[in-house]
Structure 1
C-alpha cells in the first residue's frame, strides 16, 4: 500500500512542484492543495499529480479548515505536509483528532519564539511530527532556542535542502544595456526585496568603498522602490553606477549577465533561490556568513563568504574578483558544480520519501 500525502501550498514554486512530481513518479500518492489559477497548476496535472483547490486566505479560515478536514478524511492520508504559515495554522486545526502525521516546511531562520502565541499554533505545536528545514541553520536554530527546557525534541527538525535542476536555467543571459548599464561594465548583481535584513545598504556602502580604479556597477533586482532606498541612492557618490531593475520575471537571466552576485543579508537567510540561480549560471557569489548561505558556498572555492554587516569585507571580495579574471572564472565553474552535485532536486525527492517512510513504515 503506497503512502498517501496531502501537500498544502498556495504558491508552489518550481522546486516544490518538481518534488511533488518526483514523489508521484516514485509511487507516493501525492495530492497537492493548489489553486487552479496558479501558474504551476497545469504542470502538476500534466504530470498526473491530483490537485485540490482549497483557498486559505487567512491564518484561521473556517471554510478552509473545514475543506481541508473533509479532504483529509476522504483521502485517508497518512501524511499532511504543509508548506507555508497559513497551511500550518489551518492544517493543524483541520487534522485535529485524525491519525495523520504532520510534516511542515520551514524556509527561514528565526521568527519563532516561545513567548509568541502564534509560534505555538504553528511550528512549536507538539502535534507536528517533523519540520523539514531548507537549511541546516534553521534546524540548529530550533535546537538552540532558549530556554532549553522548552525546546522541541531533537528528531523533529530535519534538514532537507531544496534542490534544483540545471536544465531549468538554460535561457540566454539578459542584455544589461536595457537597464542603462554600459557595454563592458563589470556588474555586481543582487536579487532581493528591500528590507532591513537583506543588507542592501551595506552593499551600497561596499560599492562606495571601492577604489576609483574599480568602477563596478551595481544592479538591484526585486522590489527596490522604498523611499529610504531611493534617498540613499540619490546621495551616493556612486549613484550613476547603481541601477534598479525592479520586480522582473527574468531575474535569473539578469543574474546570468552579471560578473559577480552578492547576497549581503544580515540575518535569517534561508537557502536563497537567487544565489542558486546565479551559481548555476557560473556567476561567483559573495554571501554573508548567516543562515543557509554558507551552506551553499564553499568559501574560496565556489564563492566568497564574508561576515554580515561588514561593507569593507564585501568591497574587498568584489575587488578581488574584479582584479582576478581567472579566479572569478574558476569560482563560477565551481559554483555551478556545487549546485549540480550538492543541491539536486533528485536528492530532495529521495530524502523526503525516506522521511515519509520513517513516519509511516507500514501504510495501511
Structure 2
C-alpha cells in the first residue's frame, strides 16, 4: 500500500508525533511505501530517512492554507495514495481539500483528545469522504460519537502502542538519571510528565506536600518543561506550598526509559483533554507502579487495582492516599509494577497497534473494490 501519514506537528515533544512516526516506521518495516508529510524539520526528516520513509515538508500554516493544499494535490497526483491517515485538525482539513476531486482509497482520521466535537469541526468528521475515525480509547469514541452524531461503525478504537522492547526495565540503569540530576539513592522519586495546567501538576505538588511530613525522602520530578519560564512557574508554586526543596523542574527529555528507570512511581494527575496518557503506558511497560486520574480513557489502561491506582480527577485526598499506599508497601508496589508491564505487553504494544492499523486500511480498500 502507498500510505501517507500527515501531521502538522513536527516536534517529538508531543505524543501525536511519536505515535504518527511509530505507525509510519512500523508500516514501512512491513513493506509498505510510506510518506510522512509535516512541517519542515531536519530531525524528523533525518529520522524518516533512517527508516526509508519519504518525507515532504509543507507549511501547514492554518486550515485555509491554499499553498499547502496545492502542494498536497501535486504530491498525490505524482504518487497516488492508497491510504491517507491524518493526525490533527489542520492536516485533516487540508488533506480533505486536496482530495476533493481525487479521493484516496482510504481516508482515516486520528482523534487522540477527549474534547467534544463542535459546530466548527463536526463536518470534517461527518463527511462521507472520511472512511474511518480512529480514536485512542473507547471514552473518546463515545464523546465524538455523541457530540459529532457519528455512526457507530465509522469510529474504531485502536489503542496507542508502546515499544515494549525499548521500554524494558532490564535494559536500563536504575540510577543513571539520578546521578545526572544529583538525586540521592535514598530518595523516593515521584514523576509526572507534562506541565500544562490541565495535566494537574499543581494538584500533584499539593499531594506531595501532604505526604512530605511523614516521608522526608519523597522527591517530585515534573518533566517536560519547555523553557525557563515553565521551570520558574513550577518552582514558584512548589515554594508557595513549602516543598521547593522536594521538587525538580525537568526539561523535555528524549530518553524516557532512562528517566523512568530511576523513578519509584509515575503519576498522571490530568483533569482534562487526555485520551490515554502515553507516559503512564510507558511507565507501566517499565514495570513501574502508576497512579492516574480517571480523565479520558485512563480507566481503560489502569483497568484494575492489580495494575495501578486510579483516582478521581482533582481529588486531592484520593491522590494523596494513593501516594501513601505506594510508599508504605514497596513489595506490593513492585508486584503491581510487574503486572502492569504484562498488561501493556498483552494489550497496548506497538506491534498490536500496527497490526490493527494495517488490518483497518486493508478492510477499507477491500470494501471499495
Q: TM-score, normalised by structure 1?
A: 0.88
Residue 53 of structure 2 is aligned to residue 49 of structure 1: yes
Residue 357 of structure 2 is aligned to residue 357 of structure 1: no
Residues 69, 267 of structure 1: alpha-carbon distance in 2 compared, 3 angstrom cutoff:
same
User: For 2:224 and 2:55, how far apart are their aligned partners in 1?
Assistant: 30
User: For 1:16 and 1:217, how far apart are their aligned partners in 2?
Assistant: 33
Q: TM-score, normalised by structure 2?
A: 0.87
Q: C-alpha displacement at 1:304, in angstroms?
A: 0.6
Structure 2: 5+ residue stretches without partners? none
Deviates more, 1:287-296 or 1:119-128: 119-128
Question: Which one of the candidate residues 233, 236, 251 is aligned to 1:231?
Answer: 236
Q: C-alpha displacement at 1:249, in angstroms?
A: 3.2
Residues 172, 183 of structure 1: alpha-carbon distance in 2 compared, 3 angstrom cutoff:
closer
Residues 362, 110 of structure 1: alpha-carbon distance in 2 compared, 3 angstrom cutoff:
closer
Question: Which one of the candidate residues 310, 314, 318 is aligned to 1:313?
Answer: 318
Residue 218 of structure 2 is aligned to residue 214 of structure 1: no
Residue 190 of structure 2 is aligned to residue 200 of structure 1: no
1:240-261 deviation digits (Å, cap 9, x = unpaired): 2122113333344222211011
Q: C-alpha displacement at 1:320, in angstroms?
A: 0.7
Match of 1:21 in 2: 25
User: For 1:95 and 1:309, how far apart are their aligned partners in 2?
Assistant: 44
Q: C-alpha displacement at 1:286, in angstroms?
A: 0.1
User: For 2:33 and 2:255, how far apart are their aligned partners in 1?
Assistant: 33
Q: C-alpha displacement at 1:331, in angstroms?
A: 1.1
User: For 1:26 and 1:221, how far apart are their aligned partners in 2?
Assistant: 34
User: For 1:5 and 1:242, how far apart are their aligned partners in 2?
Assistant: 44
User: For 2:43 and 2:211, how far apart are their aligned partners in 1?
Assistant: 42
Q: C-alpha displacement at 1:348, in angstroms?
A: 1.1
Match of 2:137 in 1: 135
Q: C-alpha displacement at 1:14, in angstroms?
A: 4.3
1:102-148 deviation digits (Å, cap 9, x = unpaired): 2111111115313xx2x146445553221111122211111232xxx
Deviates more, 1:350-359 or 1:226-235: 226-235
Structure 1: 5+ residue stretches without partners? none
Deviates more, 1:65-74 or 1:226-235: 226-235
Match of 2:260 in 1: 255
Residues 234, 111 of structure 1: alpha-carbon distance in 2 compared, 3 angstrom cutoff:
farther
User: For 1:49 and 1:180, how far apart are their aligned partners in 2?
Assistant: 40
Aligned Cα root-mean-square deviation (Å): 2.4
Give the secondary-structure state (helix, strand or coil) at the position aligned to 2:190: strand
User: For 1:281 and 1:196, how far apart are their aligned partners in 2?
Assistant: 26
Q: C-alpha displacement at 1:52, in angstroms?
A: 3.0
Matches within 5 A, 1:267-346: 267-346=272-351
Higher relative helix content:
2
Q: C-alpha displacement at 1:228, in angstroms?
A: 5.2
Q: C-alpha displacement at 1:341, in angstroms?
A: 1.3
User: For 1:242 and 1:231, how far apart are their aligned partners in 2?
Assistant: 10
User: For 1:330 and 1:127, how far apart are their aligned partners in 2?
Assistant: 48
Give the secondary-structure state (helix, strand or coil) at the position aligned to 2:152: coil
User: For 1:23 and 1:161, how far apart are their aligned partners in 2?
Assistant: 16
1:298-344 deviation digits (Å, cap 9, x = unpaired): 33111110111111111111111111111111111112112211111
Match of 1:31 in 2: 35
Contact (CA 8 Å) 2:135, 2:156: kept in 1 or not? yes
Aligned length: 354
User: For 1:138 and 1:296, how far apart are their aligned partners in 2?
Assistant: 13
Match of 1:348 in 2: 353
1:212-267 deviation digits (Å, cap 9, x = unpaired): 32232111111274465443212212222122113333344222211011100112
User: For 1:20 and 1:231, how far apart are their aligned partners in 2?
Assistant: 41
Q: C-alpha displacement at 1:352, in angstroms?
A: 0.9
Contact (CA 8 Å) 2:225, 2:251: kept in 1 or not? yes
Match of 1:99 in 2: 103
Match of 1:155 in 2: 153
